[in-house]
Structure 1
Amino acid sequence: MVRKARTEMIAETRAKLVSAARLAFGTIGYADTSMDELTASVGLTRGALYHHFGDKKGLLEAVVQQIDAEMDNRLAEISNAAAGNWEGFVGRCEAYLAMALEPEIQRIVLRDAPSVLGSTYSQSSQSHCLATMADMLEQLMDERIIGKTDSKALARLLNGGLMNSAIWIANSEDAEDDLTMALDSLSLTLNGLLMRV
């Protein structure tokens, strides 16, 4: 029998902990998740958790990073499949807001992460999104689809509005109706960027 390499064992342990935490955080929430029960459920000890993630917050951050990456991939698929760059950009923005209805994203990314991880997480999480959005906006400006302005400033303005709206939807008692209102407002906002011929 071949022994597993140390790096493979580390990756497996991390994956087990992240998977178990994602399930627990998504179903019962961060605050109600017991680290003893979580680690025992995958045959590990709290020591393994502390060794790999530092603490419960570190584990939450790893879970959120995994979900963020999946969300980003889904958004990229939407823009890549769109008829044009404008349709792709609008589709990404709409899809991001719609994701606020998904229970796992609601609870982990839009409720627990902002309150537990604070602004440090929000800034690091947004950096990739902001860069992608700024690049897309720059391309739309170069194609003369939208008016010319600073793409980084516009990306911050739009991304902030999208994130704030997603958090509002995730915490709403009537999320479906609030999503509809947010999408209507988004359409009005984005159409205001279009160049007038």
Structure 2
Amino acid sequence: MAAKRRIEMMEENRAKMIAAARTAFADKGFANTSMDELTASVGLTRGALYHNFGDKRGLLAAVVAQIDSEMAQRARASAANTSDDWERLLAEGIAYINMALEPEVRRIVLLDGPAFLGDPTQWPSQNNCLEFTQQTITEMMERKVVKDMDAKVAAHLLNSAALNAALLIAASDAPHKTLPHVIEVFALLASGLRNN
């Protein structure tokens, strides 16, 4: 029983730190967030941070993974009512791009994430999204919705286009003005995959 309770406490502490970091990183940015203040705000020590995440970057990686995973789920959910396979895939990409306007997503995932964690295409959460897109493209090829092609390459390029579109919006001085142009070009690029 003691071991089980210890595991539960570790999971609770981990969840507390991720939640606190998510708020702090969104408000202050990764570089300006004090780990001493963050851990104290949830009644923990730096030792708990190091034990659970290794360091501050490890905590950022956990926060980014959580938000990025939520983004993928939200993109799928927003397109779930679309009956046409192609339109659903396109709607998922556009939903993901639209999330670049959200302050938390913009600051943590699209600005600080790449700056401190490196290439987003190497993040585990992006790999999960990539597998899902590849499976969807493979299924659409079988039904002749899209052209015959290497599904893995197509998934990489389509996901990269959506990710880079979101990065472009996040870095823009006028994200709301940039968004419609980005979505228009993303849809044009993606349409090249579709069978006529």
TM-score (norm 1): 0.93
- CA–CA distance in 1 between the matches of 2:165 and 2:75? 17
Which amino acid counterpart does residue 112 of structure 2 have in structure 1? D
Separation in 1, partners of 2:130, 2:176: 26
Q: CA deviation at 1:193?
A: 2.1
Match of 2:162 in 1: 162
Instruction: Tell me which residue corresponds to 2:26.
Output: 26
TM-fit CA distance, 1:16? 0.7
Residue 179 of structure 1 deviates from its aligned partner by 0.9
Match of 1:145 in 2: 145
| Residue 175 of structure 1: aligned partner | 175
Where does structure 1 lack aligned partners over 5 or more consecutive residues? Answer: none
Please tell me whether the aligned partners of residues 114 and 122 of structure 1 are also in contact (alpha carbons under 8 angstroms): no
1:122 has 2:117 as partner:
no
Match for residue 78 of structure 2? 78
Using the size of structure 2 for normalisation, the TM-score is 0.93
Within 1, Cα distance between the matches of 2:172 and 2:109?
15
CA shift for structure 1 position 21: 0.3
Which string of whole-angstrom CA distances, capped at 9 and with x for unpartnered residues, describes residues 85-104 of structure 1? 11210110110110111110
Once the 2 structures are TM-superposed, how far is the Cα of residue 192 of structure 1 from its aligned partner?
2.3
- After TM superposition, the runs of 4+ consecutive aligned structure 1 residues lying more than 6 A away are none
Equivalent residue number for residue 39 of structure 2 = 39
Q: How many residues align?
A: 194
* Partner SS state of residue 145, structure 2: coil
Residue deviations 1:48-96, cap 9 Å, x none? 1111111100100111111112112112213332122112101101101
Contact 1:79/1:85 (<8 A) preserved = no
Determine if contact 2:161/2:186 at 8 Å carries over to the other structure.
Answer: no
Matched residues, percent identical?
Answer: 46
Compare 187-196 and 105-114 and name the one that shifted more.
187-196
Contact kept, 8 Å, 2:75 with 2:96, in 1: the verdict is yes
Deviation, 1:178, is 1.1
Do 2:111 and 2:167's aligned partners in 1 also have CA atoms closer than 8 Å?
yes
How far 1:170 moved relative to its partner? 0.4
Q: Deviations over 1:12-45 (max 9, x none)?
A: 1101111100000011100000001111111111
> Contact 1:138 / 1:151 at 8 angstroms: preserved in 2?
yes
| AA at the equivalent of 2:149 | T
CA distance in 1, matches of 2:179, 2:158: 16
Q: Is the 8 A contact 2:97 2:162 kept in 1?
A: yes
